[in-house]
């Protein structure tokens, strides 16, 4: 082990580790492992995050993925019998595909089973899910699965993975998440009925002989989100993903109590959301977002169209209350939005007056200043509801010059061009378009830097593992922890497929790795798209294709007529 004495950062020896790539593999225990051929993504390069005044200067080499990470030591490949192992199968080199595996002896606990949406270099792909080939031989050892909340990057892979692992494995989650999972399962009847057990805030769950957990409700953009205190033989692990603080009308923090309670439990390791670690300050209050939305409602002369994520149910609830105050009927555009609102209404999370909702076909019956249209598609997706409205493909809604269009969501990285095109199309038709860079119309569900530091201070862990995000996000989170007293040598930056050996007095990275490559869902096929297919698709998208059609005489081999040459993309 080499240590940088100036900065206290210990560097693990070089490891032979195959980086997760955009390749895919057949799902099953016999799936072959392939040697990745592509370089690691530029998002995990050696470029250091933005400097903070209180951070110690650290050379860029400490950010090099896998080889010179912030790691104290590297352990042999065999874990000691008294150790708990942690293996991320997704979520630590991307935003999405979240899935973590904890193992002790012959007992396995899983937290989350999410999907990732396709990227530019995965054309034709519907979803990307975790690779569970390492779990299949040990599926009987899986004692329970904890799901933290109902967003697809945490629940989306359940139908595909439970079909292989076994539907009888207990799934522990909250009421709203349970109903969202059950509704999604209706599209996968072959999986069988899932064994879902509902848990409540501060409830302790006995998962197995050696594992138990206490769940804590936390603030997020969807109700019923939880953090988990996982009690293990080596100590209690605080698993805190997708959370933030909110602020009441007096500016008091909402959501601190859960972390203060965790801080009383002598936390061994804190696993913490890194999505907004590079963002300074604190979260925008949902009360401020609500006020700004109401200001736009007050001055709108015609229809109001709000584009947003269908899963932002807390925001949806507030918008519906504003609509009631301004006597506007509400039409919903987007299947997932209708489904989620119905589920939330059934559970009492959204309460509205009778007669508030109308169909899109009924919109024309009301004066424009009495109509609100809630729509999905704020990311500029080509087949989503808002884009169809903008392009004149919705027979019931045609954009008018008196319309007010509000984007109550942030732009997911990579969608900037499509969102800009959508806004241009709406503006060309005369609509007034409002977005969050003009006024706060959205609040992220992920804690920024000051809140992350406060969470770390409240939980008071001995060790720290940043999760949920690209390498530079997790690097930034490790430095935040250093600012509040967690030395860098006690933080681990691990990648998907790496194994962390957790013992009472230390965390170490094993030389052993597991297969954490992408498994792609393409239509009805799961894991059927091999690397060569994706390479060909990308080549076709960039270079085009040439087709030659010729009719030959079988006996002489001569052309019977001139060949046809068809060119596309050149």
* Chain mean pLDDT for the chain: 83
Domain ranges of the chain: 81-281+444-522, 286-434, 530-568
Question: Per-residue pLDDT for 72 more than 60?
Answer: no
| % of the chain residues with pLDDT over 90 | 62
Max CA distance (Å), the chain? 90
User: Quick one: average pLDDT of 269-291?
Assistant: 94
Give the pLDDT confidence score for residue 378 in this predicted structure: 86
User: Quick one: average pLDDT of 485-502?
Assistant: 96
Give the pLDDT confidence score for residue 136 in this predicted structure: 96
Side-chain-side CA neighbours of 308 within 13 Å: the count stands at 29
Question: Per-residue pLDDT for 49 more than 50?
Answer: no
Give the pLDDT confidence score for residue 384 in this predicted structure: 86
Helix axes 158-165, 175-185, angle to 10 degrees: 80
Beta-bridge partner residues of 219: 244
Are 169 and 142 in contact by the 8 Å Cβ rule? The answer is yes
Q: Give the tokens for residue 81.
A: 């019998």
Are 207 and 229 in contact by the 8 Å Cβ rule? The answer is no
At 138-175, the pLDDT tens digits run: 999 999 999 999 999 999 999 999 999 999 999 999 99
Top-level CATH class of 81-281+444-522? alpha beta
Are 148 and 224 in contact by the 8 Å Cβ rule? The answer is no
The answer for residues whose C-beta is within 8 angstroms of residue 140's C-beta and 6 or more apart is none
Catalytic residues: 273, 446
Q: What does each C-alpha distance from 343 to 193, 338, 477 come to in angstroms?
A: 19, 9, 35
Q: Give the tokens for residue 386.
A: 């808002």
CATH number of 286-434: 3.40.50.10710
Give CA–CA dist 144/502, Å, rounded.
Answer: 20
Question: Per-residue pLDDT for 226 more than 90?
Answer: yes
Distance from the Cα of residue 536 to its chain's centroid: 28
- The model's confidence at residue 329, banded by pLDDT at 50, 70 and 90, is very high
Question: Per-residue pLDDT for 235 more than 50?
Answer: yes
Give the pLDDT confidence score for residue 540 in this predicted structure: 63
Are 148 and 242 in contact by the 8 Å Cβ rule? The answer is yes
Q: What is the bridge-based pairing of β-strands 404-407 and 432-434? A: parallel
Task: Tell me whether the CATH fold assigned to 81-281+444-522 matches the one assigned to 286-434.
Answer: no
Are 456 and 449 in contact by the 8 Å Cβ rule? The answer is no
The answer for residues whose C-beta is within 8 angstroms of residue 482's C-beta and 6 or more apart is 55, 56, 488, 491
Question: Per-residue pLDDT for 510 more than 60?
Answer: yes
Q: What does each C-alpha distance from 434 to 246, 284, 405, 407, 526 come to in angstroms?
A: 23, 17, 6, 6, 40
Question: Per-residue pLDDT for 39 more than 90?
Answer: no
At 447-472, the pLDDT tens digits run: 999 999 999 999 999 999 999 999 99
- Tally the residues of the chain: 570
At 97-119, the pLDDT tens digits run: 999 999 999 999 999 999 988 76
- The model's confidence at residue 263, banded by pLDDT at 50, 70 and 90, is very high
At 347-384, the pLDDT tens digits run: 999 999 999 999 999 999 999 999 999 999 888 887 88
- Closest by CA to 495, choosing from 49, 51, 59, 67, is 67
Are 149 and 177 in contact by the 8 Å Cβ rule? The answer is yes
């Amino acid at each position: 082990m080499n240590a940088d004495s100036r900065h206290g950062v210990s560097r693990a020896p070089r490891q032979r580790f195959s980086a997760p790539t955009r390749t895919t593999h057949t799902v099953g225990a016999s799936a072959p492992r392939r040697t990745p051929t592509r370089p690691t993504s530029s998002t995990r390069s050696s470029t250091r995050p933005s400097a903070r005044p209180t951070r110690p200067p650290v050379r860029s080499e400490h950010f090099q993925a896998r080889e010179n990470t912030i790691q104290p030591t590297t352990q042999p490949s065999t874990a000691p019998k008294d150790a708990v192992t942690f293996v991320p199968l997704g979520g630590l080199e991307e935003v999405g595909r979240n899935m973590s595996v904890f193992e002790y002896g012959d007992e396995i606990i899983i937290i989350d089973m999410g999907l990732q949406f396709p990227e530019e270099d995965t054309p034709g792909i519907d979803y990307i899910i975790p690779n569970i080939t390492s779990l299949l031989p040990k599926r009987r050892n899986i004692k329970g699965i904890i799901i933290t909340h109902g967003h697809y990057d945490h629940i989306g892979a359940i139908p595909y993975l439970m079909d292989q692992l076994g539907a009888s494995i207990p799934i522990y989650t909250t009421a709203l998440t349970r109903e969202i999972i059950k509704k999604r399962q209706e599209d996968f009847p072959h999986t069988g009925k899932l064994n879902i057990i509902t848990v409540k805030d501060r409830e302790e769950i006995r998962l197995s002989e050696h594992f138990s957990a206490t769940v804590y409700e936390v603030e997020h953009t969807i109700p019923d989100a939880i953090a988990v205190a996982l009690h293990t033989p080596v100590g209690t692990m605080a698993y805190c993903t997708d959370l933030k603080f909110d602020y009441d009308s007096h500016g008091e923090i909402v959501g601190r109590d859960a972390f203060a309670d965790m801080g009383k439990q002598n936390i061994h390791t804190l696993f913490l959301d890194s999505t907004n670690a590079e963002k300074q300050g604190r979260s925008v209050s949902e009360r401020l977002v609500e006020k700004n939305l109401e200001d736009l409602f007050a001055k709108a002369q015609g229809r109001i169209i709000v584009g947003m994520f269908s899963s932002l149910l807390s925001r949806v609830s507030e918008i519906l209350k504003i609509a009631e105050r301004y006597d506007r009927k509400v039409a919903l555009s987007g299947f997932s939005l209708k489904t989620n609102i119905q589920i939330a209404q059934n559970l009492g999370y959204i309460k509205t007056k009778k007669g508030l909702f109308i169909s899109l076909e009924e919109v024309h019956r009301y004066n424009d200043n009495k109509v609100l249209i809630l729509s999905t598609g704020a990311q500029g997706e080509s087949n989503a509801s808002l884009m169809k409205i903008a392009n004149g493909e919705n027979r019931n809604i045609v954009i008018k010059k008196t319309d007010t269009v509000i984007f109550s969501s942030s732009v997911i990285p990579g969608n900037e061009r499509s969102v800009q095109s959508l806004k241009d199309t709406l503006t060309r038709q005369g609509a007034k378009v409002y977005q969050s860079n003009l006024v706060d119309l959205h609040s992220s569900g992920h804690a920024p830097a000051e809140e992350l530091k406060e969470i770390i201070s409240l939980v008071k862990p001995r060790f720290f593992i940043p999760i949920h995000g690209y390498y530079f996000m997790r690097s930034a989170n490790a430095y935040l922890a250093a600012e509040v007293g967690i030395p860098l040598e006690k933080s681990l930056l691990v990648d998907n497929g790496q194994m962390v050996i957790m013992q009472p007095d230390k965390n170490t990275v094993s030389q052993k790795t597991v297969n954490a490559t992408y498994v792609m869902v393409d239509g009805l096929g799961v894991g059927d798209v091999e690397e060569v297919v994706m390479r060909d698709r990308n080549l076709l998208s960039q270079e085009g294709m040439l087709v030659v059609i010729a009719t030959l005489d079988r006996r002489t081999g001569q052309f019977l007529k001139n060949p046809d040459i068809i060119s596309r993309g050149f």
